[in-house]
Structure 1
Amino acid sequence: MSLLNSIDRPHVLTAIETWDQAGGSNYMLVRGGVSTHVLLHGGREYDAAAIVGIAHGLATGNTLTPAEIPGGGAGATKALVRLGFDVRDDSPPPPQRVPGTRSTTPRAPRATTARSTTTSRPRVAASDRVDKLCPTCFLALPATGICDNCD
């Protein structure tokens, strides 16, 4: 059973009255944030998580802080909608997917590491590499290992 199933509509209405009597409009200023889940009732806006926390206290005797509500603001919204209340979700939209990638954000340039900065020579394909050089004339040695120019 969910922690919020004990809340009924009368509990929420009493919580709204309690909120209004206590001057709850300053609650968000004290809490230091902006609610993204807003309960709309009687032409007024309320912090959905705070109202659900108060309503839970009225129903069970244990008032919940917004951080203790299962699912946070989204969980409070779900409980309030289940009881027939209107809730507005002001959460920012999810990040858009970048076409052609699996990422939701453009990829930042990779940071250079100490290893990559010390090897600043251009890459050479394996087929273009010279295996051995003659120590005297620095020409490529044939497969025999004997320099055709010096020996």
Structure 2
Amino acid sequence: MATFSSVSRQHILQALAEYDDRGGDAFLDLYGFAPTPGYELVHEDRGYDVKAVLGVAHRFATGRLATPDAFSSGMANAVAILRKRGFQVTEPAGAVRLAPVKPARAPRAPRAAAPRAARPISSRTTDARDAPPRLCPTCSMTLPSTGVCDYCS
């Protein structure tokens, strides 16, 4: 099952541009998607297939196409991802709007708080490493720690 967390709005826009260039049927055939009845991504007054666009956007994001069987959890997650990225998605008239399915997380084990040592307060605002290197006034080479230029002395 594909995760779509890496899919950004830009990846979806790339998939929409390819959909427009190829045409809807050729786009679906090329990537092996069947039309998804009732669900439509609407962008700039044009309709697009939700699964196909999201699957190809996943390819732009990760290099791997999300195949049609990657949507086994239903359309709720796909619709939620597209809406979260700012797109309008229409649903069938009788569709029940369900919350997207989130995978369950294992509970965390409580951590024992270790006592922290007090940090000494420093009055120095700059560190020696932050200071710019000293340069030789004659040849502009960085001076060694002795302060005497190896080339000019």
TM-score (norm 1): 0.53
* Offset at residue 23 of structure 1 (A): 1.3
How many residues are aligned here?
A: 93
* Offset at residue 21 of structure 1 (A): 1.1
Higher helix share: 1
CA contact (8 A) 1:53 1:69 kept: no
Question: In structure 2, the residue corresponding to 1:20 is in which secondary structure?
Answer: helix
* Structure number, greater radius of gyration: 1
* Offset at residue 66 of structure 1 (A): 2.6
Question: In structure 1, the residue corresponding to 2:47 is in which secondary structure?
Answer: strand
Distance 1:74 1:26, change over 3 A: farther
Distance 1:7 1:34, change over 3 A: closer
Residue correspondence of structure 1 range 126-141 to structure 2 within 5 A: none
Match in the other structure for 1:89 = 91
**Cα distance in 1, alignment partners of residues 72 and 3 from structure 2:** 7
**Cα distance in 2, alignment partners of residues 4 and 70 from structure 1:** 13
Unpaired runs of 5+ residues, structure 1, are: 95-151
Report percent identity of matched pairs.
Answer: 31
Question: In structure 2, the residue corresponding to 1:87 is in which secondary structure?
Answer: strand
TM-score (norm 2): 0.52
Distance 1:31 1:64, change over 3 A: closer
* Offset at residue 91 of structure 1 (A): 5.9
